[in-house]
Amino acid sequence: MSERVDFSRNAAIYDRRHGASVSDVGLGRLWLAAGIRKGMRVLDIGAGTGRVAIPLATHGGRVVALEPAAGMVERLRQKDVGGRVQPLVGEGSKLPFPVGAFDVVVISRLLYLTPDWRAILNEACRVLTTGGVLLHEWGNGEADEPWVRIREEARRLFEQAGVAAPFHPGVRSEGEVDEQLAAHRMVRDAMVDLGPGPEITLGEFLRRLTEGELSYIWNVPESVRTESLPRLRTWSEQTFDLDAPVHVPRQVRWTLFRKSAT
């Protein structure tokens, strides 16, 4: 897969999987930790359906929600009943804003989905004012989580069948994100844990993967799916109790970075 993942095709079910919005409690903790104040200029890059942008705007932020998938932007507009968010269709690697235009930049569950993740971070740092804060949520799980192991076994099977980079063409670890930000005078300021993600069974996760509700098989040829997915199910059944509930991800964690002057 050479390009970013376009989620327009499943905008209608995205909120069911990820939650329609950050909770009031969670947002309050982020707001306090980041030192956000009403009237601050906020840019949400890869805003999706407004899961973070709408709550931030409701609390008084002046929020621009930038999202490349038109279907997701339309869903955001439907949810933003008060019209508090300024939605914009565009690419995070080519931001149409001047240097220092925003006090807060939000990047949530995005950077593993696109090969131009470094350019997105470069642009995010460019438009962030000195002393401003970048809120980053990884959201892609850790290597030892059972659902992540199923996902990575799918990747292995697809690659074994000859599909190069079948899904998630972006950054592979949160540590790489941290290193890139450090090169841009971004200092880690705080970490905010918001508890576990939504709970589902491993069997339900496997169903979503194999039936194409998740993006993992969208770019995989049908012939490879036919060969690989039954093997994935067999491996999963032998490795895990598919009736076991898991949180996806195990822990929702945000890292806050402050832009230093030097």
The tens digit of pLDDT for each residue in 101-119 reads 999 999 999 999 999 999 9
Query: Is pLDDT of 11 > 80?
Result: no
Task: Please tell me the distance from the alpha carbon of residue 137 to that of residue 18, in angstroms, as a whole number.
Answer: 13
Helices and strands, number each (H, E), in the chain: 9, 9
The per-residue pLDDT of the chain, averaged, comes to: 93
Torsion of Cα atoms, 66 then 69 then 71 then 74, to 10°: 10
Output phi, psi for 199, to 5 deg.
Answer: -100, 130
> For 54-79, what is the mean pLDDT?
95
Q: What is the mean pLDDT of residues 23-50?
A: 95
Rounded to 10°, the helix 11-18/70-79 angle is 60
- The structural domains of the chain, ordered by start, are 7-141+168-199+250-259 (3.40.50.150)
Asked if residues 46 and 66 have their Cβ atoms less than 8 Å apart, the reply is yes
Mean pLDDT value across residues 39-67: 96
Q: Over range 161-188, report the average pLDDT.
A: 95
Alpha carbons within 13 A on the beta-carbon side of 68: 15
Structure confidence at residue 1 (pLDDT): 33
Q: Is the pLDDT of residue 60 over 50?
A: yes
pLDDT band per the 50, 70, 90 thresholds, residue 2: very low
**Residue type for 256, please?**
L
Contacts for 26 with CB less than 8 Å, ≥ 6 apart:
194, 195, 252
Backbone angles phi, psi at 102, to 5 degrees: -130, 150
**SS3 of 14, please?**
helix
Asked whether residue 21 carries a pLDDT value surpassing 90, the answer given is: no
pLDDT in tens, 115-174: 999 999 999 999 999 999 999 999 999 999 999 999 999 999 999 999 999 999 999 999
Bond before 196 cis per omega within 30 degrees: no
Which run of H or E residues covers position 15? helix 11-18
pLDDT of 78 strictly over 70? yes
